Amino acid sequence: METNRNDLFVQRDMGIYIHIPFCKQKCIYCDFPAYQNLEEYYDTYLYALVQEMTMFGDAYPKSRTKLVDTVYFGGGTPTELSLLQLEQILNTIKTNYNVSPDCQFTIESNPGEVDQAYLKGLHKLGFSRISFGVQTFNDKSLVRLHRSHNREDAINAVQWAFKEGFQDINIDLIYGLPNQTIDEINKNLDIVSYENSLRIHDLLDEIRNELIPNKSIGIESMLSDNILIRYEVIIKEINNERGKKNG
């Protein structure tokens, strides 16, 4: 039996996810739909996105009345767009949907690709939460991962975001990197403030299909399952301690 999609809006608040599939530099391990060097298509994509948001509301009228309590911009790298382009998307959401006064607006970003003025503009637009794809604070590992930032960029971005009013700053880290040591993981975690939320991913889970054939990253030096399990235990203990201090 075919489900009536209007029924999905009956008993729950609604969240909106906006996908921006553009990146300055595609990460070697990324399997999300994201593409670099497509700046000429930004406006075209934005036009189609705005049209789709409006058409969805027309097709499913109940979506317009449900309270929207979260809006999440992911990618790709949403901060590849200008502040004006982001504002156009936000205005379309607010015009077509019932956005809660205390709705949480989150945006993903890469350190090194935003400056303090841009972060100030994001906060002014209404974004209250930002998630930085730091992955590691080790410069050598960042080069191996084909990241566009360095350690200093990452630290600056987090500090700038805090100064510009972001109270909820998430930092993404990856463990299981080639040649990574427990000391590097500990140093990564030491840098992250207890005020920051934290997501930690196992690199092997993210790159299993794409990275293994690629010898340029040093796959022969990937960590064994036993060492990864040790990392998981250490990270769990540290996160539990973070929770106690934040609680």
Q: Contact, 173 vs 142, CB < 8 A? A: no
Looking at 88-102, 115-129, 206-220, which range is the least confident one?
206-220
Q: Contact, 123 vs 160, CB < 8 A? A: no
Calculate the CA dihedral of residues 30, 34, 39, 45 and round it to 10 degrees. Answer: -170
Residue partners of 157: CB distance under 8 A and separation at least 6: 109, 111, 112, 114, 119, 132, 149
Q: Contact, 94 vs 126, CB < 8 A? A: no
Model's pTM, two decimal places?
A: 0.83
Share of the chain above pLDDT 90, in %: 52
Mean pLDDT computed over 126-133 = 95
Residue 101 one-letter amino acid: P
Over residues 55-65, the pLDDT tens digits come to: 999 999 999 99
The two tokens of residue 155 are: 């630290």
Helix (H, G, I), strand (E, B) or coil at 204: helix
The two tokens of residue 141 are: 């590992």
Confidence of residue 137 (pLDDT cuts 50, 70, 90): very high
Report whether pLDDT(38) > 80. Answer: yes
Q: What is the mean pLDDT of the chain?
A: 82
Over residues 141-186, the pLDDT tens digits come to: 888 888 889 999 999 999 999 999 998 999 988 877 777 777 888 8
